[in-house]
Structure 1
């Protein structure tokens, strides 16, 4: 009778262990206690907080250079729109240009109106590089040098859309230097001066 009881208990233990092994594994032939003793404190795991990743503050001069270059590229997009429009009023040029740079575009477009011409195509501002940044003056400024490629820009008669003859010796890719200032309204191109030098 005793052997029968022991066999029944052994089967129960083995069955319990097999069932537990599916969940958490089993390493003992003894049945597990259903609850830990009341005096045993619950196990806790303490994880050290991960060190906070801090981004070093951006260099103000580098940030100014990036903003000035972005403004300069936007300026030329607006110039493209202005020159391609028969009325020469398209684009939001004053958002990106002021002073001598704005006056130069306005003067050019007046001449285009007189000659009944437009300029269509894409202007490429190649390798715009901030060669200096003075951010400590009252009106911060950045000077940018780039290679302006107007080889894809075509001057046409505004009525017939036929190409207008231009001097063959004109430069189609040349170095241009721009000065961009930070005004209360934002960055503005104030000077854009061709250097009469191929690039």
Structure 2
């Protein structure tokens, strides 16, 4: 009697201061039954009957969903941070804003420093910058989840004005109006915080 063999068939430079892990097991093993002894009445040997292929394991999308949700939350925190920063620059003061809710460490220190310089210079800002940010890296493991972002910041509609007169201060001749800004964020409890913001004035976008 012969036996069939089995075969395994991813700023603020204001003018002030300028898986896919492929599942290779998707093809199941095909088992061939052993042929019987002797011949059939017609003289032909029995043919091995293949069993049904094992179903491919289901691929869970939970991990991808978690990553997407986290990225969306990071981006929202970044937008909220910018809204509060613009508000602070518009009055040359962080009082009455929620800047400390969304910024900390270097990002908060930079914003507070800019506000101080503006207050001493008697300037504020009008309008707001526009940006298109993306999350370039995301780590949800460890004690403190972290993320990095890249933004194409457009400050052409964000004017610096003299507080007393409202006179618009011109942009320096070498000031790019669209440039890359990078940011870092950390999740503290349930809140993502912007911890660092770095303008890259030599990288236009």
Q: Normalising by the residue count of structure 2, what TM-score does the alignment of the two structures yield?
A: 0.66
Q: For residues 84-119 of structure 1, what are the alpha-carbon distances to aligned partners after superposition, in whole Å with 9 as ceiling and x for unaligned?
A: 115453421011111100000000000000100001
2:159 counterpart (138, 154, 158): 154
- Matched with 2:193 is 188
Structure 1 CA distance, aligned partners of 2:92 and 2:136?
A: 36
Query: Of Structure 1 and Structure 2, which has the larger fraction of its residues in helix?
Result: 1
- Whether the 8 Å CA contact 2:92–2:115 is kept in 1: the answer is no
1:123 aligns with 129
1:89 aligns with 2:88: no
Equivalent of residue 143 in structure 2, options 138, 146, 151: 138
Q: In the aligned structure 2, how far is the partner of 1:101 from the partner of 1:187? A: 13
In 2, Cα distance between the equivalents of 1:56 and 1:142?
Answer: 21
**TM-aligned CA distance change 1:185 to 1:64, over 3 Å:** closer
Cα separation, 1, equivalents of 2:65 and 2:94 = 39
Q: 2:168 is paired with a residue of what secondary structure?
A: coil
Q: CA deviation at 1:184?
A: 1.8
Once the two structures are superposed, the pairs formed by residues 16-165 of structure 1 within 5 Å of their partners are 57=62, 59-126=65-132, 128-165=133-170
Give the distance between the partners of 1:103 and 1:64, measured in 2 at CA.
25
Displaced runs of 4 or more, over 4 A: none
Preserved CA contact (<8 Å) 1:86 1:158: no
Deviation at residue 185 of structure 1 after TM alignment:
5.1
Superposition CA RMSD, Å: 1.7
Counterpart CA distance in 1 for 2:111 and 2:85 is 7
Cα shift at 1:151: 0.4
Give structure 1 stretches of 5+ with no counterpart.
Answer: 1-54
TM-score computed with the length of structure 1 as normaliser: 0.68
Report Cα offsets for 1:124-174 as digits up to 9, x if no partner: 112x11111011121101111110111000100011111124411101110
Q: Deviations over 1:25-71 (max 9, x none)?
A: xxxxxxxxxxxxxxxxxxxxxxxxxxxxxx95363222211111110
1:169 aligns with 2:171: no
Larger radius of gyration: 1
Unaligned runs of at least 5 residues, structure 2: 1-59
Structure 2 residue matching 1:82: 3-state secondary structure: helix
Number of residue pairs aligned between Structure 1 and Structure 2: 144
